[in-house]
C-alpha cells in the first residue's frame, strides 16, 4: 500500500463503510424489478463506495484545496488563455429556464435559448468576419474536425477528391495534424522561417493539386502575428485549396483582425479561451466554427433559423442535404454557450476590443520584464503571449525549463506552458491575459528573475523543486509502465440493502 | 557514451549486430537517453517483412514517441518479449537485454549503407 | 471593461516600459489592408441590466410542462451537494492537470471517476475525455477499427439516431458503416435482428465492431450476450452503448462480454441544459488500453514515496503523437466527470439502485395509466423506464398536449422517419421525479385528445393537425 501524505486524501473507496448513506431517494416497491428478465439483470451490485453526505463534502472540499486555479492565483499557461471567469456567467447558466430545458423540447417551448443561440452566432460572425457560424462542436478539436470535414465535402462536391493533403506549420497545436488524420488526410509539416513565421518557400513548394487545406494558427503559437498572411492566403486559393484558421489565439486580435474578411474560409473559436467560459479542469469547452461563403452549404445540421415572424426554430433533418451531418448529439454545449453569450454582452464591441489591447499590452510588458533574465528567441512585438527560453541558463547551470517551472510553484505561481511549441529549445510559452494587474505581472517576473539567480547560486534548490507543494515530482515512468488506472477494492464488496 | 565498435548504425539511432544471416536490432544508448524513461515498445509480429529504413515499430517514453526504422531488409525472426513487461531494459542495457528484433537478413550488401562506430560517434557528437 | 484591472496610469506605465506611446504600435504587424474596422456589436451592458436580459430569455423557455421526454437525456434529482461542489473555483477555474504537483485534486477526482465507472460498467479502463454519448460511441467504433485493422462497423438501428448520424459523420473518411435492422414483429419486435446481424457478418468485408444499445433507443432490453457472442464469433469487437443509471440493476457490459462500453453520462447529476455540456462515457477492457483515446489518470508515487496521481500513457495523445494520435481529443471532460463522481458518491450504491428501480416503478404506472385510456405499448418486450406507445396522429396530439401542459415524450415519426411502423408512436419515459399527478395529467390529456379525434371527421383532424 502507498502512503497517503499529510495534505492528501484517501480515496472515496477507502472511506466507504457498509450501511452509510441513504435517504436521497424514496425506496421503490420491492417487486419493482420482477418484470425485468433475469438474464438482463445485474447479479452482483456495483462495488460503489458507501458514504454519508458530510464525508463526501469534506472529501471534495479538501481535494479542491490541492488544486491551483485562476480563482486562487496567476495562471500564465500559454496557448490556454486562463483569464478570469466571471461569476455572472455561472449564475446565468444555472437559471432553471436554461438549465432544465430538454434538448429535444419542441422549438415553441425553447424560444429563449434558441434566440440566445441565434444572437450568439451573429456576434461570433461579426467578431470573425465570417458569413455564418455553427455552435454545435463540443470543443476546439471537434471544431477543427468540423472544419476539415466541410473542406472535404466541398472538394468532393467539386469533383476534386484527389486532394488528400493538409499543410500544417511545425509550430501548430497537435490537434491540427491529429484532426487531419481523423478526416483521412495526410499531414505535410511546413517548417518555420527564422523570424518565427511560416517559411514561404517551403510553403509554396508543398502547395499543389493534392492540397486540400492549410491550417494556420494566427497569431501563431509563438505569439507572433503572421505578417505574410495576405500572401499565404492568396497562394492557398490560387492552388485551389482552402484556408483553415485555428482560432486558439483569437484573444489577441479582437476588433483588430477579422479572419473571414482577410480571406480565411473557416475557423474555430475556443470559447473557453477567448470568451472566458471556465476550463473546468480540462473541460467542458465549446468550439463553434465560422465559415465564409464557400463552405456555407456544408455546415453541420441542425442550424438555428429565424423565421420572418421573429420566432426561432431548429433546421429539420434532411432540410439541407449538402450538410456534413452532425458531430454529436443535440445542438451543442448550450450551457457553455450561455456563458459565452453573457461574456460577450457584458463587454460589448468596445469592451472586446479593449480585451485584446490589454492582453497584448500585458504580454509585451511581461516579455520586456522576463527578458531581463531569460532568452527571448523572437524579441519583437508579440501578441497575447510570448516564448522565453532557458537555453542560456541550462548551458551555464544545467537547470532546465522543467526545473524552473517546478520552482515557480514554490513561489506561488502556476508554471507557464513548457516545451511547446516544439520548435523552441527549453521553451516557456507565457500568456498573462488581460485580467491580471500590473502588480501581479511584476511579481511573476520578479519570481522568474529570482529563480534565474537561484539557478546560478544554488541549482539543486531549483532542480529538486517543488518543495512546498502537497506532493513532490512524480514517478511518471512507473505510472506508464505499470498503469494503475482504477481502484481495486480490498475485498469483495459486501453490500446488504438497508431495506 | 561508448559506442560499441562491433556494431553498425543508422542515422535514426538504431544499431544492428550481424551474425551469419541473422541480425539483431535495437536502439543506441544515445537514443534511449534522449527519449528518457522508456515505457512502451511496439514491435512487429514474427514473419513480417521489413524494408531497410522503413518504420517497423514505435518506442514511447513518458513524454515522447519515436518510430523505429529497420537497418536492414529482412524477415522478423523473433522479438524481445521481455520488453512488454520491462521496457526499462532499453534504458538500462540498450545493446544487450534491451534488444528489440531479430531479422533473417535477405540483402546483406545493405550493411555497407550503414554507419560504423566511428561515423555514428561523429554523428551524435555533432548533436 | 468589466473585469479588467488596468487604470489609465497602469497602461501608461506598461507602454512607457516598452518605449511606446500607443497600444496601436503593438498591432503594426497586421498588414494595413487586412486591419479590421470596429466590432459592430452592442455597447457593454452593466451586470444588473444583463442579468435582467438573461432572466427574460430564460423565462421564454417553457420548463413548467409535465415532461415524459427522455430519448437519451433524463430528468433526475441531483443531490444539492453536487452543484455546490461544482461551484468551487478550485475545480471549475483550473485547467488540464499538466502540473501534477498543483493538480492533485483534479487528478484524484479523475482517478476516482475512472474507478467508479469501472465498477459500474465492469471494465477496467475508463477515459474521462469525451464530449457526449454520441462522440464517445463514434470513438468506440473507431477503436474497433484500429484494434482489428478492419474497416467496417455494424450498428444496430436501435442505437440513438443522433449517435448513428454522428458515427456516419466520423466514418465519412473511408470507413464503412452499416445499419443492422430491427425485428419487425413478434416477441422481439423493436430489438436488433440477430439473424440479420449474422448474415451481415458473413457477407462482405470483415467487420471490426458491432454496436448495440442497452436499453435501446426504444427503451427495450436487447439480448446483449447473444449479440456479443455473434460478433466475437466473426472476430469483431462488441461495443455496448449504455445508460449509466440502469447499470445499478441491469447486467454490466463486462458481464456479457462487451469489449468497449460507451454512453451518455448526463443522468449522473448533470442538468439537461438543452444539449450539453454532457459527459461521454468510454470504457474498455485492459487489452485495449493503448487504443482508447483521451486522457487517462493513474496512481503512482512521488519522490517522497507518497501516493500521488498523474496523467499517464500520454504518448498516445495528439500533443505528442500529432498525426499518428489515436484521436484529436484534447478535452478531458473533468468538470462533468466530477459531477458524476460527486453524484455517485452522494447517492451511493443503494441510492443508485433506488433511482433505477423507482424509474421502472413510475414507468410501469405510466404504462398502466396510458393503457387505461386506450393507448397501448407498441412492443411486447421488456423495458426498464422508457417505452413506445401507439397514438393515432401522434405528432399532432403531441403538439396539442403542450397546450395542456404536457410534454408527451418524443414523436418517433420525427426521430426515426425510416421506420414507418413507428409513424404513430410516442416514446415516453418516467424517472424517480415523475409524479402521480403528472401521470394523471398526461393520461387525462390523451383521453381528451383521443375523444376529440374520434368524434371529428378525418378532414377536420387533418386541419387540426396542420394548424
**Alpha helices (H) in C373-435, listed in sequence order:** 394-403, 412-415
Instruction: Please tell me which residue of chain C has the smallest CA distance to A435.
Output: C4
Determine the 3-state secondary structure of A395 from DSSP.
helix
Do A417 and A80 contact (CB within 8 A), yes or no?
yes
Give the minimum alpha-carbon distance from C126 to chain B in angstroms, rounded to a whole number: 20
Q: Please give the interface size between A and C, counted as residue pairs whose CB atoms are below 8 Å apart.
A: 697
With CA atoms as reference, report the closest residue to C59 among A107, A309, A331, A111. A111
Task: Using the predicted structure, report yes or no on whether residue B75 has a pLDDT greater than 60.
Answer: yes
All residue ranges of chain C with pLDDT < 70 are 453-467
Q: Taking 70 as the threshold, does the pLDDT of residue A110 lie above it?
A: yes
CB contacts of B37 in chain A (<8 Å) are 476-477, 480
Chain A residues near residue B40 by CB distance under 8 angstroms: 480-481
Distance, in angstroms, between A315 CA and closest chain B CA?
44
- Tens of pLDDT, residue by residue over C301-321, are 999 999 999 999 888 888 888
Residue of chain A nearest C127, judged by CA positions? A485
Output phi, psi for B126, to 5 deg. -75, -10
Q: B-chain residues within 8 Å CB-CB of C315?
A: 39-40, 60-65
> pLDDT-derived band of residue A317, with 50, 70 and 90 as boundaries?
confident
pLDDT for position C40: 96
For residue A204, give how far its alpha carbon lies from the nearest alpha carbon of chain C (Å). 20
For an interface test with B, give the residue of A476, A482, A483, A484 to mutate (most B CBs within 10 A). Answer: A476
DSSP notation for A446-477 = HHHHHHHHHHHH-HHHHHT--SSSSS-SB-HH
Q: Which residues in chain A have their CB less than 8 angstroms from residue C276's CB?
A: 103, 138, 284, 328, 330, 332-336
Identify whether the C-beta of residue A24 lies closer than 8 Å to the C-beta of residue C346. Answer: yes
pLDDT for the residue C452 = 75
Q: What is the ipTM of this complex?
A: 0.96
Angle of the C104-121 helix axis to the C334-372 helix axis, nearest 10: 40
Chains with 3 or more CB pairs closer than 8 angstroms to B?
A, C
Give B61's contacts in chain C (Cβ within 8 Å).
315
Residues of B with CB under 8 A from a CB of A: 37, 39-40, 60, 62-63, 86-88
Q: Which of C2, C3, C433 to mutate to test the interface with A (most CBs of A within 10 A)?
A: C3
Q: Does residue A183 sit in helix, strand or coil?
A: coil
Nearest alpha carbon to residue C75 among C67, C83, C64: C67
User: Does the distance separating the beta carbons of B87 and A476 come in below 8 Å?
Assistant: no
Residues of A in contact with C125 (CB under 8 A): 485-486
Compute the mean pLDDT over every residue in chain C, rounded to the nearest whole number: 95
Which residues, numbered 43 to 72 in chain B, qualify as contacts with chain C under a Cβ-Cβ cut-off of 8 Å? 60-65
Pick the residue of A60, A129, A177 with the most C CBs within 10 A to test the interface with C by mutation: A60
Q: If you write DSSP's letter for every residue of C265-321 in order, what string do you get?
A: -TTTT---GGG-S--EEEEE-GGGTTT--S-EEEEEEBTTSBEEEEEE-GGGSHHHH
Residue C303: other Cβ atoms inside 10 A: 12
**Running DSSP on this structure, what letter comes out for residue C192?**
B
C313 vs A495: CB contact, 8 Å cut-off? no
Alpha carbons A231 and A212: distance in angstroms, whole number: 18
Closest to A262 in 3D by CA, of A300, A296, A299, A236: A236
Neighbouring chains to A with at least 3 Cβ pairs closer than 8 Å: B, C
Evaluate if residue A492 carries a pLDDT over 60.
Answer: no
The pLDDT of A102-107, averaged and rounded, is 98
Give residue A454's pLDDT band: very low, low, confident or very high (50, 70, 90).
very high
Instruction: Give the single-character DSSP code of A435.
Output: T
Best of B36, B37, B42, B60 to disrupt the A interface by mutation (most A CBs within 10 Å)? B37
Tell whether C1 is within 8 A of chain A (Cβ): yes
Is A496 touching C (CB cutoff 8 A)?
no
Rounded CA gap, C215 and C222, in Å? 7
- What are the tens digits of pLDDT across the range B101-115? 999 999 999 999 999
Q: How far is C319 from chain A (nearest CA, A)?
A: 4
Residues of A whose CB is below 8 A from B62: 476-477, 480
The tens digit of pLDDT for each residue in A30-65 reads 899 999 999 999 998 999 999 999 999 999 999 999
pLDDT, one tens digit per residue, over B20-52 is 999 999 999 999 998 999 999 999 999 999 999
Instruction: State the residue for C-alpha cell 455553427.
Output: A134
How high is the pLDDT of residue C465?
A: 42
Chain C neighbors of A314, CB-CB under 8 A: none
Nearest CA in chain B to A480: B39
Question: What CA–CA distance (Å, rounded) separates A433 from C237?
Answer: 47
Q: Which residues of B touch C313 (CB under 8 A)?
A: 39-40
- Does the CB of C290 have a partner CB in chain B at under 8 Å? yes
With a cut of 70, say whether residue A498 has pLDDT above it. no
Q: What is the pLDDT of residue C261?
A: 98
Residues 6+ apart with CB under 8 A from A155: A161, A163, A212, A242
pTM of the model: 0.95
Grid coordinates representing A185? 488526410
Residues from chain A that touch C14, judged by Cβ atoms under 8 A, are 361-362, 364-365, 438
* Cα–Cα–Cα angle for C356, C357, C361, rounded to 5 degrees: 125
Inform me whether the C-beta atom of residue B113 falls under 8 Å from chain C C-beta atoms: no
The answer to whether A477 contacts B62, with C-beta atoms less than 8 Å apart, is: yes
Determine whether the interchain pair A138/C330 forms a contact, defined as Cβ–Cβ distance below 8 Å. Answer: no
- Which positions in chain A touch B63 (Cβ < 8 Å)? 419, 476
Contact B65 C290 (CB under 8 A): no
| 8 A C-beta contact, residue A276 and residue A347 | no
Q: Hunting for cell 509563438 — which residue is that?
A: A222
Three-state SS at A133 = strand
Using a 10 angstrom Cβ sphere, with 0-12 exposed, 13-18 middle and 19 or more buried, the burial of residue A10 is exposed
Q: Does C382 touch chain B (CB under 8 A)?
A: no
Mean pLDDT of A427-432: 97
In this predicted model, what pLDDT tens digit does every residue of A142-181 receive, in sequence order? 999 999 999 999 999 999 999 999 999 998 999 999 999 9
Q: Which of residues 39-68 of C touch A (CB under 8 A)?
A: 39-45, 47, 50-51, 53-63, 65, 67
Any chain C CB within 8 A of the CB of B118?
no
Cα gap C217→A249, rounded to integer Å: 40
**Nearest-Cα residue of chain A relative to residue C121:** A46
Give helix A438-457 / helix C8-17 axis angle, nearest 10°. 40
List residues of chain A with CB under 8 Å from any CB of chain B: 419, 476-477, 480-481
Cβ–Cβ below 8 Å for A284 and C333: yes
How many Å lie between the alpha carbon of A418 and the closest alpha carbon of chain B?
Answer: 12
- pLDDT, tens digit, 9 for 90 and up, residues A330-361: 999 999 999 999 999 999 999 999 999 999 99
Average pLDDT of the residues in A180-186:
93
For the record, the C-alpha cell of A456 comes out as: 546560478
Number of A–B residue contacts, CB under 8 Å:
18
Contact between A143 and A215 (Cβ < 8 Å): no
Note the pLDDT of residue A490.
52
Amino acid at each position: 500500500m502507498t502512503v497517503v501524505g499529510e495534505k492528501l486524501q484517501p480515496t472515496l473507496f477507502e472511506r466507504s463503510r457498509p450501511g452509510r448513506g441513504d435517504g436521497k431517494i424514496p425506496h421503490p416497491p420491492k417487486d419493482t424489478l420482477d418484470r425485468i428478465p433475469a438474464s438482463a439483470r445485474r447479479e452482483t451490485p456495483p462495488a460503489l463506495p458507501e458514504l454519508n453526505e458530510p464525508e463526501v463534502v469534506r472529501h471534495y472540499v479538501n481535494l479542491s484545496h490541492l488544486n491551483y486555479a485562476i480563482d486562487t492565483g496567476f495562471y500564465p499557461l500559454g496557448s490556454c488563455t486562463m483569464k478570469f471567469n466571471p461569476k455572472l456567467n455561472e449564475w446565468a447558466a444555472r437559471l432553471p429556464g436554461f438549465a432544465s430545458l430538454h434538448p429535444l423540447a419542441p422549438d415553441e417551448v425553447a424560444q429563449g435559448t434558441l434566440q440566445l443561440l441565434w444572437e450568439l452566432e451573429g456576434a461570433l460572425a461579426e467578431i470573425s468576419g465570417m458569413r455564418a457560424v455553427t455552435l454545435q462542436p463540443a470543443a476546439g478539436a471537434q471544431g477543427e474536425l468540423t472544419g476539415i470535414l466541410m473542406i472535404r465535402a466541398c472538394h468532393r462536391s467539386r469533383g476534386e477528391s484527389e486532394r488528400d493533403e493538409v499543410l500544417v506549420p511545425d509550430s501548430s497545436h497537435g490537434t491540427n495534424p491529429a484532426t487531419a488524420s481523423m478526416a483521412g488526410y495526410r499531414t505535410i509539416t511546413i517548417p518555420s522561417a527564422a523570424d518565427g513565421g511560416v517559411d514561404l518557400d517551403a510553403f509554396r513548394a508543398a502547395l499543389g493539386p493534392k492540397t486540400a487545406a492549410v491550417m494556420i494558427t494566427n497569431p501563431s503559437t509563438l505569439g507572433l502575428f503572421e505578417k505574410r498572411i495576405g500572401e499565404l492566403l492568396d497562394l492557398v486559393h490560387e492552388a485551389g485549396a482552402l484556408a483553415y484558421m485555428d482560432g486558439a489565439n483569437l484573444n489577441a486580435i479582437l476588433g483588430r483582425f477579422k479572419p473571414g474578411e482577410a480571406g480565411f474560409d473557416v475557423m474555430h473559436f475556443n470559447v473557453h479561451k477567448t470568451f472566458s467560459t471556465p476550463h473546468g479542469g480540462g473541460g467542458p469547452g465549446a468550439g463553434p466554427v465560422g465559415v465564409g461563403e464557400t463552405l456555407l452549404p456544408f455546415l453541420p445540421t441542425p442550424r438555428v433559423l429565424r423565421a420572418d415572424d421573429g420566432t426561432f426554430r431548429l433546421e429539420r433533418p434532411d432540410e439541407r442535404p449538402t450538410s456534413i451531418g452532425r458531430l454529436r448529439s443535440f445542438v451543442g454545449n448550450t450551457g457553455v454557450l450561455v456563458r459565452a453569450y453573457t461574456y460577450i454582452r457584458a463587454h460589448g464591441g468596445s469592451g472586446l476590443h479593449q480585451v485584446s489591447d490589454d492582453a497584448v499590452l500585458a504580454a509585451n510588458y511581461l516579455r520586456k520584464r522576463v527578458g531581463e533574465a531569460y532568452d527571448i528567441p523572437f524579441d519583437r512585438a508579440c501578441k497575447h503571449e510570448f516564448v522565453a527560453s532557458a537555453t542560456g541558463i541550462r548551458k551555464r547551470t544545467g537547470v532546465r525549463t522543467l526545473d524552473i517551472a517546478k520552482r515557480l510553484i514554490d513561489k506561488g505561481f502556476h508554471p507557464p506552458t513548457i516545451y511547446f511549441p516544439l520548435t523552441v529549445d527549453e521553451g516557456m510559452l507565457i500568456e498573462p491575459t488581460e485580467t491580471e494587474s500590473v502588480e501581479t505581472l511584476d511579481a511573476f517576473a520578479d519570481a522568474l528573475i529570482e529563480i534565474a539567480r537561484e539557478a546560478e547560486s544554488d541549482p539543486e534548490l531549483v532542480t529538486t523543486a517543488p518543495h512546498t507543494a502537497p506532493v513532490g515530482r512524480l514517478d511518471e515512468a512507473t505510472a506508464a509502465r505499470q498503469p494503475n488506472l482504477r481502484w481495486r477494492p480490498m475485498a469483495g464488496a459486501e453490500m446488504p440493502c438497508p431495506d | 557514451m561508448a559506442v560499441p565498435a562491433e556494431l553498425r548504425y543508422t542515422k535514426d539511432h538504431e544499431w544492428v549486430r550481424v551474425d551469419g544471416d541473422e541480425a539483431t536490432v535495437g536502439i543506441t544508448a544515445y537514443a534511449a537517453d534522449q527519449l528518457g524513461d522508456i515505457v512502451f515498445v511496439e514491435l512487429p509480429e514474427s514473419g513480417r517483412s521489413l524494408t531497410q529504413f522503413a518504420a517497423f515499430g514505435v518506442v514511447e517514453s513518458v513524454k515522447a514517441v519515436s518510430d523505429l526504422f529497420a537497418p536492414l531488409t529482412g524477415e522478423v525472426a523473433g522479438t524481445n518479449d521481455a520488453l512488454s513487461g520491462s521496457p526499462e531494459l532499453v534504458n538500462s542495457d540498450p545493446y544487450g537485454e534491451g534488444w528489440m528484433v531479430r531479422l533473417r537478413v535477405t540483402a546483406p550488401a545493405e550493411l555497407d549503407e550503414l554507419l560504423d562506430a566511428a561515423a555514428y560517434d561523429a554523428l551524435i557528437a555533432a548533436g | 471593461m468589466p473585469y479588467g484591472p488596468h487604470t489609465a496610469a497602469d497602461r501608461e506605465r506598461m507602454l512607457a516600459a516598452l518605449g511606446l506611446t500607443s497600444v496601436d504600435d503593438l498591432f503594426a504587424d497586421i498588414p494595413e489592408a487586412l486591419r479590421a474596422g470596429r466590432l459592430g456589436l452592442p455597447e457593454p451592458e452593466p451586470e444588473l441590466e444583463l442579468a435582467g436580459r438573461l432572466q427574460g430569455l430564460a423565462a421564454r423557455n417553457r420548463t413548467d410542462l409535465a415532461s415524459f421526454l427522455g430519448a437519451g437525456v433524463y430528468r433526475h434529482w441531483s443531490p444539492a451537494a453536487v452543484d455546490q461542489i461544482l461551484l468551487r473555483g478550485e475545480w471549475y477555474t483550473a485547467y488540464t492537470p499538466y502540473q501534477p504537483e498543483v493538480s492533485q485534486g483534479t487528478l484524484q477526482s479523475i482517478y476516482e471517476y475512472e474507478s467508479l465507472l469501472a465498477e459500474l460498467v465492469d471494465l477496467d479502463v475508463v477515459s474521462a475525455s469525451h464530449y457526449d454519448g454520441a462522440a464517445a460511441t463514434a470513438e468506440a467504433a473507431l477503436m474497433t477499427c484500429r484494434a482489428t485493422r478492419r474497416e467496417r462497423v455494424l450498428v444496430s438501428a436501435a442505437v440513438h439516431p443522433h449517435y448513428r448520424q454522428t458515427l456516419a459523420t466520423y466514418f465519412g473518411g473511408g470507413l464503412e458503416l452499416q445499419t443492422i435492422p430491427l425485428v419487425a414483429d413478434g416477441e422481439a419486435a423493436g430489438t436488433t435482428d440477430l439473424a440479420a446481424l449474422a448474415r451481415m457478418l458473413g457477407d462482405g468485408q470483415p467487420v471490426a465492431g458491432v454496436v448495440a444499445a442497452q436499453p435501446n433507443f426504444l427503451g427495450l432490453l436487447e439480448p446483449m450476450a447473444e449479440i456479443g457472442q455473434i460478433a466475437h464469433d466473426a472476430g469483431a469487437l462488441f461495443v455496448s452503448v449504455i445508460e449509466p443509471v440502469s447499470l445499478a440493476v441491469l447486467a454490466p457490459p463486462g458481464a456479457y462480454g462487451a469489449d468497449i462500453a460507451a454512453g451518455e453520462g448526463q443522468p449522473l447529476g448533470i442538468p439537461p441544459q438543452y444539449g450539453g455540456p454532457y459527459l461521454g462515457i468510454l470504457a474498455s477492457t485492459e487489452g485495449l488500453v493503448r487504443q482508447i483515446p483521451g486522457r487517462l489518470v493513474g496512481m503512482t508515487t512521488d519522490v517522497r514515496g507518497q501516493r500521488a496521481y498523474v496523467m499517464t500513457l500520454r504518448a498516445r495523445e495528439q500533443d505528442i503523437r500529432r498525426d499518428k494520435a489515436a484521436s484529436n481529443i484534447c478535452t478531458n471532460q473533468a468538470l462533468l466527470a466530477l459531477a458524476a463522481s460527486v453524484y455517485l458518491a452522494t447517492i451511493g450504491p443503494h441510492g443508485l439502485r433506488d433511482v433505477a428501480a423507482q424509474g421502472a416503478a413510475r414507468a410501469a404506472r405510466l404504462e398502466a395509466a396510458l393503457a387505461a385510456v386506450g393507448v397501448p405499448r407498441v412492443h411486447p418486450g421488456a423495458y426498464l423506464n422508457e417505452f413506445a406507445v401507439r397514438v393515432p396522429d401522434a405528432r399532432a396530439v403531441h403538439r396539442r398536449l403542450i397546450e395542456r401542459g404536457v410534454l408527451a415524450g418524443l414523436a418517433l415519426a420525427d426521430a426515426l422517419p425510416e421506420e414507418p411502423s413507428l409513424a404513430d408512436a410516442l416514446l415516453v419515459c418516467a424517472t424517480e421525479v415523475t409524479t402521480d399527478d403528472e401521470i394523471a395529467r398526461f393520461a387525462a390529456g390523451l383521453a381528451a385528445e383521443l375523444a376529440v379525434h374520434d368524434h371529428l371527421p378525418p378532414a377536420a383532424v387533418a386541419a387540426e393537425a396542420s394548424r
